[in-house]
């Protein structure tokens, strides 16, 4: 990451690019690499971490003059394969606590975007029950975030073509936003180049089809989920399309 143009043109994900560092050392590493804007996964162990833990992390961002632009909401225990809790009826209260925690981060940092994961298929409930629970939770979260001018992001995830996760290619996210949620203005697609490429999409064409509903962009190459230029995705063509369509946000480097 020695290229100054790259560093000033992109934001970076602290949880992927600096994942091998302790949580409280990642901000300094990103600043040393020349970045000024960052995003993060939810790197706390629960939906409602104590204030001291959260503030210690946020203090590292402020000490490095880093602007946090987006953070995931709590998505459950990643170590056992949980990918979101929005659609799980028995975790509705936990989900709402997670949104309250995100709002605390927003208040402390000025960030206004949160990636909120749906949750994998759970056979204790029917698909229809999980879909309705997820719909109600996203609808509630969107309304709760609207007072802050904040945006809920929904990300398609690769490797879930077995039906265990409902969103794999971006088009399904668009359909959910438009048809199930009634197209709220503050629920948007997270356009992740790696996940879309794994789904078999041409990312430039996908951008052309989906850009109207995109609220955030993440870059990682394919195959391998490495830095742009390590695989075969045409980022120059994608960035030209993004500029042509008037995308004003930053692309975030979210490679491993």
Catalytically active residues are 155, 254
Distances (CA, A) of 73 to 47, 94, 197: 8, 11, 24
Give the number of other CB atoms < 10 A from CB of residue 106: 19
Distances (CA, A) of 250 to 28, 30, 39, 105: 20, 16, 11, 20
- Do 99 and 141 form a contact (C-beta atoms < 8 A)? yes
Distances (CA, A) of 143 to 62, 123, 182, 185: 29, 29, 12, 10
Rounded CA gap, 22 and 217, in Å? 25
């Amino acid at each position: 990451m020695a290229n100054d143009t790259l560093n000033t043109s992109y934001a970076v994900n602290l949880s992927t690019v600096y994942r091998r560092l302790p949580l409280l050392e990642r901000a300094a590493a990103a600043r040393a690499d020349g970045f000024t804007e960052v995003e993060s996964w939810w790197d706390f162990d629960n939906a409602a971490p104590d204030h001291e833990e959260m503030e210690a992390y946020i203090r590292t961002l402020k000490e490095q003059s880093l602007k946090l632009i987006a953070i995931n909401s709590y998505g459950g225990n990643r170590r056992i394969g949980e990918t979101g809790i929005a659609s799980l009826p028995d975790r509705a209260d936990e989900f709402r606590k997670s949104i309250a925690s995100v709002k605390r981060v927003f208040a402390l940092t000025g960030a206004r975007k949160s990636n909120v994961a749906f949750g994998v298929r759970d056979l204790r409930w029917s698909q229809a029950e999980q879909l309705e629970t997820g719909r109600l939770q996203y609808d509630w979260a969107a309304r709760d975030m609207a007072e802050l001018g904040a945006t809920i992001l929904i990300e398609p995830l690769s490797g879930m073509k077995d039906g265990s996760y409902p969103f794999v290619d971006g088009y399904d996210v668009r359909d959910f936003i438009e048809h199930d949620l009634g197209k709220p203005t503050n629920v948007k697609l997270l356009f992740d180049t790696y996940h879309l490429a794994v789904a078999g999409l041409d990312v430039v064409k996908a951008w052309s089809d989906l850009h109207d509903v995109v609220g955030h962009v993440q870059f990682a190459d394919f195959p391998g989920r490495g830095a742009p230029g390590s695989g075969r995705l045409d980022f120059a063509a994608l960035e030209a399309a993004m500029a042509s369509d008037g995308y004003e946000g930053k692309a975030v480097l979210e490679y491993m």
